[in-house]
Structure 1
C-alpha cells in the first residue's frame, strides 16, 4: 500500500511505507515504477524559495559522488504537488543490511571488525572530502554494515545519509547563518561551538564512533545541549588498554584542535594496516 497523500515523485518513485522520521525529514521505502526496483526516498520538510535554491545547489554536488563506500544518490527533486508547500527529496539506493547502532546494541565487535569499519569509512571520507563535501553527521546509525550474501567477502561498512540536513557542500552558509548541523552526541568541538564544520569535524565524529565500537558506550551522553557542551572542556574517555595502537589513534582523531587531527587520507593506510594486523592475529 502506498504512503497516503504522497504522489509518485518525478512520475516514477512511489512511496510505499514510512521507515523513519526525524525533525528535518521522513524516509520512505519506495518503488521505482519504471525500473521495477525498490529505493529509499528522503522527503524533507517544506521551505521557502531561498531554501529551495540552496537545496538545488547541494543536490547537484551530492549527485556527483560515486564511491563503493557510500550509499548512492539516484535522483533528487522538489515536490511541488502542493504549490504552497514545496518539499525537496532525495532518492537513494536502498541498502540491505544492519546499521552499526543496531549491531552495537546486540553484540560486541572484534578488533578486526572495528578495523574494517574504520578502513571502509575513512576511505569513503577520503573520497568525499577530496570532492569538497563534508558529511557533518557521522554516527553509528549512519554506518550501514552490508553483507552481500557470500562467504568469500566480509560485510562492508557504507556511509549513508548524505542528506541536505546532515551533509552539505562545504561553504560559508552555516557560518553566516550561525547554524549547527549533526547529532549532538557525535558533534566535533567546533560544531558544538557553532564554528564552521570542516573535513576534520568528520574525523572527530568518526573517532567517537570507533571508540563506541570498543566501549559500547556513548562518549558524550545526555541532552543535546549538555552533550554538545561537554566536549568543549573535556576529551572523551579513551581506555588506556585498547589493543595495538588504538588508544593513541583515537586520541589523535578526537583532539579538540581540528588542525591536530589526522586527515582521512592519512587514516586510510593506517586502518588498512590495522585490518591486516588484526586478520593475522585472528588467523
Structure 2
C-alpha cells in the first residue's frame, strides 16, 4: 500500500513514516493536508479499555497546557477504518531534534548545556504544576532537544508524553494498585505506590540531571530492583560537580518529598547556573589568551 492509500485521519492527517515507538503507542511523521504542513501522530496500539483511558488522560492533560517548553497538541480522534480495532490517536506538533537519552549516549554534555536543559524543563514543569497536572514520567527519552535550524538560538528542551499524567488533587490513574512510570526514574513515593505530587517530578528530574553529568543510570536493573533501590538509599551524588550542582541534586533527590525544593525555586537556581557557567567559560577564555 502506498502512502497515498493510507487513510487520512479525520480526513486531513495522512501518516507517512514511523519515527518512534513505545510500549503503548507508535509515532508517525504525517502531513496535515488542509494546512500543508508536517505534524506528528501518536497512534495507540489498540482501542482497549486501558489504551482508551491513557489516550483520554493524555488528551485532557495536553488540552489544558500551552507552553513553549511542551510539545503541543493539535488535534485528536479515533481511527475507525478497521471497525473491529479502533485506534485512538493524538496529532502533535512535529519538532526537529533528538531526545536527551540519545544525546547522553552519543556525547558528553557540557555544564552549560545541562544547566540550559534544567532551566527549560524546570520552567515548563513549574507551569504544568500551576495548571494542576503532575507529569509522573520525567525521563531522558521524554525530553526533546529541539533545534530551530539557526545559528543564533540554542536547542531548547521540551517535554513530551503526558500519557500517565495525573491531577495534583484526585485519584491516581493507576487505581489497580500498580506502579505507573519508568522504574529507573520513579520517586520513592511512586515506588511505594503512594500518590504522586509535584515533588515527584522534582525527584525524577534530579535523577535525569545526575545522569547528564555521570552518563550512568543511577538505579539500573529490573523494575522491582530499580524501584526498591531508592527506598534503601539516596542516589550517590558526586561531590566534585561544578558550582552548586552537588547541593542542588542532593536536595532534589531527598527521599522526603517535603524536603525537595519546588520548581519555582529550582527555575531561578538553574538560571543562575547558566549565568555562572557563562562566567566560568569567559574566565577560561581570558586565561587561555
Q: TM-score, normalised by structure 2?
A: 0.90
Structure 1 residue 53 displacement after superposition? 6.5
Match status 1:46 vs 2:46: yes
* 1:49-85 per-position Cα deviation (integer Å, ceiling 9, x unaligned): 6864674465234212111111111111222333333
Structure 1 residue 45 displacement after superposition? 2.9
Secondary structure of 1:231's match? helix
Query: Does the 8 A contact of 2:207 with 2:253 survive in 1?
Result: yes
Query: Does the 8 A contact of 2:14 with 2:32 survive in 1?
Result: yes
Aligned-residue CA RMSD (Å): 2.0
Secondary structure of 1:232's match? helix
Structure 1 CA distance for aligned equivalents of residues 146 and 200 of structure 2: 25
The match for 1:167 is 165
Match status 1:106 vs 2:106: yes
Match status 1:97 vs 2:100: no
The match for 2:232 is 233
Based on CA coordinates, which of the two structures has the bigger radius of gyration? 2
Structure 2 CA distance for aligned equivalents of residues 265 and 25 of structure 1: 33
Secondary structure of 2:232's match? coil
Unaligned ranges ≥5, structure 1: none
Q: How does 1:1-283 map to 2 (within 5 A)?
A: 1-2=2-3, 7-48=7-48, 52=52, 55-56=55-56, 58-162=58-162, 164=163, 166-170=164-168, 171-174=170-173, 176-283=175-282
Structure 2 CA distance for aligned equivalents of residues 55 and 62 of structure 1: 11
Secondary structure of 1:236's match? coil
CA change 1:87–1:169 in 2 (3 A) is farther
Structure 1 residue 203 displacement after superposition? 0.7
Q: TM-score, normalised by structure 1?
A: 0.92
Count of residue correspondences: 280
Secondary structure of 2:267's match? helix
Structure 1 residue 174 displacement after superposition? 2.8
Unaligned ranges ≥5, structure 2: 283-289
Structure 1 residue 187 displacement after superposition? 1.0
Query: Does the 8 A contact of 1:63 with 1:75 survive in 2?
Result: no
